[in-house]
Structure 1
Amino acid sequence: MDKEQFKSIVHPLMKANSFRRKGNSWYKTTAECIVVFNLQHSLYGKMFYINLAALLRKGDDLLFPKEYQCDIRMRFPIMEIEGYSTQMILDLESTIDEQLRSRLIENIINISMPILQKLESIDGIIELYGEKPELNNIYPFSSILYRKEMNNKLKDI
């Protein structure tokens, strides 16, 4: 499998969930956030990483922010899916049958969707912080609460 074949598996699933593609990333814009699903190619071999991110909307937003420009960022976790580690699945040089790899990649995307859905809103992000407290090291929880307070004040105007 090559990079373009990999993207061709990802694209229809992301499109079905209202994401738009630009390069190696898919974007979904909501009232409060811009959500990013990003494929990052390793510098070594055909290994990929999946990054999930959200940019809190502030009014002067980038239309297609890079994953590293986002406020909340995480890498898809290492786990086992049908007996294969995500590292092995995302290493396109590993010896997994191509049909099986396609199905495993679809499973990774399906597992990502609930996280991406939480990244669509500040309340969802607050819920995600409860599930993944390590996010506090990236973007402080207090900043999320402040953004929620500011959004509520703007709605009252």
Structure 2
Amino acid sequence: MDKSEFVKYLDELFKAHSFKKKGNRWSFSNDEIIKVIELLKSRYGNFYYIYYGFIIKNLELDGCKEHVSHGLGSLDEKENARIKELLDFEISIPDEDRKNELKKFIEREIFGMFDKIHTEKDLLMELKKRDHLNDIPLIVKKYFGLEDVDEC
């Protein structure tokens, strides 16, 4: 599978969830937030990264691409290693296996989160569940009144 086939596959998958494509970025917008997914190719090989996150419409980006961002991965070491393999096109994996396994992880990790978060309140509740907010921009912490939260 080459990049154009991969992008086409992702486009079909994301469009099934009402996301619209612009470049290598897909988005879904409502009154309060924009949900985004971005595909990036490594400079060092035929390896890809899938990032996803949220933009709060009532808050300036202040130099950020998103206000809250995640990379496709898993806390489970074996699953995370497999996700990395699936996104590394230098590793020979049959196209259908790659597509099916990636779809499983994308549905669970990305759309699992997107399905829970539809409003600023939902996003705030999700942030409050985290052990730390070290990866959240200060502008977002201030907006939600989280700047005094203890961080590791």
**3-state SS of the aligned residue for 1:44?**
coil
Identity of aligned residues (%): 24
Aligned CA distance change for structure 1 residues 45 and 139 (closer, same or farther; 3 Å): same
TM-score by length of 1: 0.76
* Pick aligned residue for 1:124 from 113, 118, 122: 122
Structure 2 residues without counterparts, runs of 5 or longer: 146-152
Aligned CA distance change for structure 1 residues 35 and 92 (closer, same or farther; 3 Å): same
Q: For 1:7 and 1:135, how far apart are their aligned partners in 2? A: 32
Deviations 1:101-133 (A, max 9, x none): 011121122121021234432122123214434
Give the match for residue 104 of structure 1. 101
Please tell me whether the aligned partners of residues 72 and 106 of structure 2 are also in contact (alpha carbons under 8 angstroms).
no
Higher RCO (CA 8 Å, separation ≥ 6 residues): 1
RMSD between superposed Cα atoms in Å? 2.7
Equivalent runs, 1:23-102 vs 2, <5 Å? 23-58=23-58, 68-78=64-74, 79=76, 80-81=78-79, 85-102=82-99
How far 1:135 moved relative to its partner? 4.1
* Pick aligned residue for 1:137 from 131, 135, 138: 135
Q: For 1:134 and 1:40, how far apart are their aligned partners in 2? A: 26
Q: For 2:143 and 2:117, how far apart are their aligned partners in 1? A: 12
TM-score by length of 2: 0.78
**Greater mean deviation of Cα atoms: 20-29 or 4-13:** 4-13
Number of aligned positions between the proteins: 141
